[in-house]
Amino acid sequence: MGSVVEVNPLSRVEGHGTLRVYLEGRHVERVELCLTESPRLFEALLLGRSFAEVPDIICRICSLCSTVHKVTALLAVEEALKLPVSRTTRLTRELILHGGQLQSHALHLYCLLLPDLLEVKGVADLARQAPELLKAGLALKQVGNQIQEELGGRLIHPVNITLGGVGRRASRDTLYRLRDGIESVLPICTDTVQLFRQGFPFPPLSAPHYLAVQTGESAFSGRALTLESLPGIPVAGYREAISEWPVEHSHAKSARVRGLVPTVGALARLNLAPPAGGPVGELFKEVGGAVTGQDLRGNALAQALELYQSALAARDLVEELLEYDPADTGSPPVLTPAAGSGSAACEAPRGVLIHGYSFDASGLCRAADVITPTSLNQLALEENLLALAHGMEGAEPAVLVAALERLVRCFDPCISCAVHLVQL
């Protein structure tokens, strides 16, 4: 007779979720990841709202990811209205996104995942048994927080980055403080790479189909997506390549890209655009074998490498901003309503994030679409959970469930971002 083992709630993940394992005896029939955070219906909330309100509303979809949602929405609205932005604005956005990546990866690696690596129950046990490691991780997170707070005007739901500009350019004193903070955690970044290079003892998992934004001048945004070695997918036509649909057991949609199950995030980024040259490139030569061509077991190490990459890039951006033209204040232009459609893709810490909007001649939103990294990863995560369960066939249910929980945490889902679907 069949049975169901349920983990409710999933612990040490962002948001609320449940894991169900369907068994026939000791044989695993299927695994369901149920993202049960209440849907907030954000796409519907935007309909009829002014283009100027859209970025500030949509970033409320998630506190942890609010900065990258705000920037992605700004880029999409600016595309629709053909708004130019200054160099100061671009550099400020780039720096604040690196701050978001630092705080997000540090939180995931040190507070959510490290207890699994050290085989302790949670952060409280970590504070007792490895306090110096936890302090190091929180110091990293604090630097990311500081960058976002100083440039965004506040830590969550930034107000200083606006359509076409910034409310106030960062002062030299602010930039010096940020530079000092970044330099203070560079040794922690390299230590983090060594800490997570050992990985997790999972059996081989499903082979991933990596998906990432084709970045260029920006380290985060671009006009096309890369899916393995296939031709690039223009962001303007993303709906022709990406299919999404609701599933009965989850509040998040599932997705395929050109018929394939995508994997997005740090692992995909470093496989599709491995670092070459410089300190990160040298470190990647040393440890990159555990990332290149790797399944999900390499995601933690990929995030650790990106911590170092973001810290160095953030320091360079601070130096650029210190040298910028004083006449380029980054002040936003006068905004005029206009009809238009625009879309943008950014690399959020957890992977590809897409926003698309259409506006009428009065500048009111007539269509809104958001595709989040966790929605793109949902099918891949369930495939990997099933592969792990089959690899552990015959294990005691408690042992199996503990391993499946660890795997979910390796994926670093952001459930709040994922459960925005709306059916009208």
Note down the domain range covering 400: 42-418
* CATH code of the domain containing 47: 1.10.645.10
Q: What is the pTM of this model?
A: 0.94
Higher pLDDT, 101 or 391: 101
Bridge partners of 357, per DSSP, are: 342, 368
pLDDT tier at 1, thresholds 50, 70, 90: low
Q: Give a yes or no: residue 404 inside a domain.
A: yes
- Name the residue among 238, 84, 229, 57 with its Cα closest to residue 165: 84
Annotated ligand binding at 365? The verdict is: no
Q: How many residues does the chain have?
A: 424
Q: Give a yes or no: residue 198 inside a domain.
A: yes
Q: DSSP class of residue 26?
A: T
Q: In whole numbers, what is the pLDDT of the chain averaged over residues?
A: 92
Which of helix, strand or coil describes residue 327?
A: coil
Which of helix, strand or coil describes residue 191?
A: helix
Task: Compute the distance between CA of residue 346 and CA of residue 339 in angstroms, rounded to an integer.
Answer: 23
Q: Give a yes or no: residue 216 inside a domain.
A: yes
Is the confidence at residue 219, as pLDDT, over 90?
yes
Annotated ligand binding at 43? The verdict is: yes
Q: Token pair of 231, please?
A: 């031709």
Annotated ligand binding at 111? The verdict is: no
Task: Compute the distance between CA of residue 355 and CA of residue 42 in angstroms, rounded to an integer.
Answer: 12
Task: Compute the distance between CA of residue 267 and CA of residue 211 in angstroms, rounded to an integer.
Answer: 10
Annotated ligand binding at 417? The verdict is: yes
Is the confidence at residue 422, as pLDDT, over 60?
no
Q: Give a yes or no: residue 424 inside a domain.
A: no
Overall number of domains in the chain:
1
Among 95-99, 260-264, 377-381, 401-405, the minimum mean pLDDT is found in: 401-405
Q: Give a yes or no: residue 12 inside a domain.
A: no
Is the confidence at residue 423, as pLDDT, over 70?
no
Annotated ligand binding at 85? The verdict is: no
Annotated ligand binding at 62? The verdict is: yes
Q: Give a yes or no: residue 27 inside a domain.
A: no
**pLDDT tens readout for residues 303-359:** 999 999 999 999 999 999 999 888 888 899 999 999 999 999 999 999 999 999 999
- Name the residue among 219, 301, 211 with its Cα closest to residue 256: 211
105 C-beta neighbours (distance < 10 Å), count: 28
Mean pLDDT for the stretch of residues 369-384: 92
Bridge partners of 367, per DSSP, are: 358
Cα angle: 205, vertex 208, 214; to 5 degrees: 155
Q: Give a yes or no: residue 18 inside a domain.
A: no
Q: Token pair of 246, please?
A: 């609701």
**pLDDT tens readout for residues 388-415:** 999 888 888 888 888 888 888 888 887 6
Cα angle: 215, vertex 66, 239; to 5 degrees: 50
pLDDT of residue 316: 98
Annotated ligand binding at 119? The verdict is: no
Q: Could you tell me if 352 and 230 are in contact, meaning their C-beta atoms sit under 8 angstroms apart?
A: no
* 146-to-140, 143, 173, 324 alpha-carbon distances in Å: 10, 5, 13, 21
- In sequence order, what are the residues at sequence separation of 6 or more whose Cβ sits closer than 8 angstroms to the Cβ of residue 282? none
Q: Give a yes or no: residue 124 inside a domain.
A: yes
Mean pLDDT for the stretch of residues 103-112: 95
